[in-house]
Amino acid sequence: MAFSEKVDPELIFTKQEKIGKGSFGEVFKGVDNRTQQVVAIKIIDLEEAEDEIEDIQQEIMVLSQCDSPYVTKYYGSYLKGTKLWIIMEYLGGGSALDLMKAGSFEEMHIAVILREVLRGLDYLHSERKLHRDIKAANVLLSEMGDVKLADFGVAGQLTNTTSKRNTFVGTPFWMAPEVIKQSCYDSKADIWSLGITAIELAKGEPPNSELHPMRVLFLIPKNNPPQLTGSYSKPFKEFVEACLNKDPDNRPTAKELLKFQFIRKAKKNSYLMDLIDRYKKWKSQRSEESETESENSDSEECRGGDGEADEPWIMTVRGGAAARALQTSDDKRRPPPDTGNYNTYTFKYQFSLIDR
């Protein structure tokens, strides 16, 4: 892992408020004291994340190799004691999931977001990289409406000798059928996840969000592909249908999807600033209401920022066959009670192929 142990990150960066959680650790807003540049600081306790060190290394490696305006920039890593500081580009507009909390999106906004995500995927796939966890929570926006892919904790690399992967990894609601079945898969798995994300952006949640995530893992390979239903335009529905073809060979590439009518007619990124402004007003109003409630009752805790309720439930299974894990999971891997949010379920499965 490439990081500096000689430099104290607390001398270089001023850590400010917590802005969220990533695949590993917490994320803070911060300032580079040398340049006054605002940055995002992900802090991971390596003692607590001992089982995930390989995945953390993977995230750093993927980020350090990426150079694209559609992927969050990586500035470096520092180790202080057991705490690893990963310094990244700060995107102050929030995630697409955050922005949906203030209200639904119009098709115009969705088209812009999907176009920018496709540009990011086109870049990653041309570099033989898979994201493997495309969803609204991992799409970040700058205050100017720039859209970038984030959270590469489960990203994968397609080597020259191996054109397809067979690791079982991602978040269930967005996971492609071939990934769940542990078939060999390639960049087309990201395209399926993009189709699910398109439905999420339109409806506010992915298909099957009312079901337990483990149940969804059984249904996705068995059922017909989800469809975008409702009063949406024909080009939008055609885009989603193309992404959600169960045969990955028949799914378009990111480059091909950029030519679809729904994407070609998308407006400028600056149109997304309306969503960002709306979210900031919603968040400010919510914060004021929380302060009022907290003043009215000493015993009631202030709800604070919206990131607190979104703590993911990360489950890593290491073993032989997916079926064996799934058979026992419903009884032994119940989610935390009363989460009330489909996006709290983030799973990461990595099955060894040795005993297959």
Provide the annotated active-site residues. 133
CA atoms of 258 and 248, how far apart (whole Å): 17
What does the radius of gyration of the chain's CA atoms come to, in whole angstroms?
Answer: 20
Three-state DSSP state, 331: helix
Q: Which two tokens stand for residue 12?
A: 């270089």
Task: Please check if 164 is assigned to a binding site.
Answer: no
Task: Give the Cα separation of 113 and 131 in Å (integer).
Answer: 17
For the chain, list the strands marked E by DSSP: 13-21, 26-32, 38-45, 74-80, 83-89, 94-95, 129-130, 139-141, 147-149, 156-157, 313-317, 345-349
Is residue 265 within 8 Å of residue 233, measured between CB atoms? no
| Alpha-carbon separation of residue 177 from 103, 190, 196, 325 (angstroms) | 30, 11, 12, 17
Going by their DSSP bridges, the two strands 74-80 and 139-141 should be labelled as unpaired
At position 303, the amino acid (one-letter code) is R
Assign residue 338 a region (left: φ > 0; alpha: ψ between -120 and 50; beta: otherwise).
left
- DSSP for 10-26, please give it: HHHEEEEEEEEE-SSSE
The number of C-alpha atoms within 13 Å of 210 and in the hemisphere containing its C-beta is 1
What distances in angstroms separate CA 52 from CA 47, 59, 213, 229, one per listed residue? 10, 11, 22, 39
Helix then strand then coil, % of the chain, to nearest 5: 40, 20, 40
Q: Known binding site: residues?
A: 42
Q: Known binding site for ATP: residues?
A: 42
